[in-house]
Amino acid sequence: MFHPNDRPMDRGWVGRIDGDKVVHLAAQTLQHYFTGGGGAREHAEYALADVTILVPVLQPPAVRLFDEAGRFAFGNPTAVVGPGARVPRVGPDLSVHARLTAVIGADGAIGGYTGLVEWWTAAAGAKANDFGLVLGPVVATDVDPTGLAAVLRWEGVTESRAAAPGFDWAAAIAHAALGTSLRVGDLVAGPRICSLDGMAEGAVTLELDGIGTLRSQLDG
pLDDT (0 to 100) of residue 156: 79
**Does residue 202 sit within a domain?**
yes
**Does residue 9 sit within a domain?**
yes
**Does residue 170 sit within a domain?**
yes
**Does residue 80 sit within a domain?**
yes
CATH number at residue 122: 3.90.850.10
**Same domain assignment for residues 168 and 89:** yes
Cα–Cα nearest to 64, from 91, 14, 29, 103: 103
Q: What distance in Å separates the CA atoms of residue 40 and residue 1, rounded to the nearest whole number?
A: 14
* Domain of residue 119, residue span: 63-219
pLDDT tens per residue, the chain (220 residues)? 999 999 999 999 999 999 999 999 999 999 999 999 888 999 999 999 999 999 999 999 999 999 999 999 999 999 999 999 999 988 888 999 999 999 999 999 999 999 999 999 988 888 899 999 999 999 999 999 988 899 999 987 888 888 778 899 999 999 999 999 999 999 999 999 999 998 878 899 999 999 999 999 988 6
**Does residue 92 sit within a domain?**
yes
**Does residue 41 sit within a domain?**
yes
**Does residue 58 sit within a domain?**
no
Give the count of domains, the chain. 2
Tell me the longest C-alpha to C-alpha distance in the chain: 48
Q: What distance in Å separates the CA atoms of residue 157 and residue 151, rounded to the nearest whole number?
A: 10
Q: What distance in Å separates the CA atoms of residue 46 and residue 22, rounded to the nearest whole number?
A: 5
Q: Which strand ranges, in their side-by-side order, compose the sheet holding 21-25? A: 14-18, 21-25, 42-47
DSSP element (H, E) containing 79: none
| CA dihedral of residues 31, 37, 41, 46 (deg, nearest 10) | 50
**Same domain assignment for residues 47 and 130:** no
**DSSP-derived 3-state class of residue 106:** helix
**Does residue 122 sit within a domain?**
yes
pLDDT (0 to 100) of residue 174: 97
**Same domain assignment for residues 69 and 40:** no
pLDDT (0 to 100) of residue 195: 93
**Same domain assignment for residues 203 and 98:** yes
Q: What distance in Å separates the CA atoms of residue 109 and residue 70, rounded to the nearest whole number?
A: 18
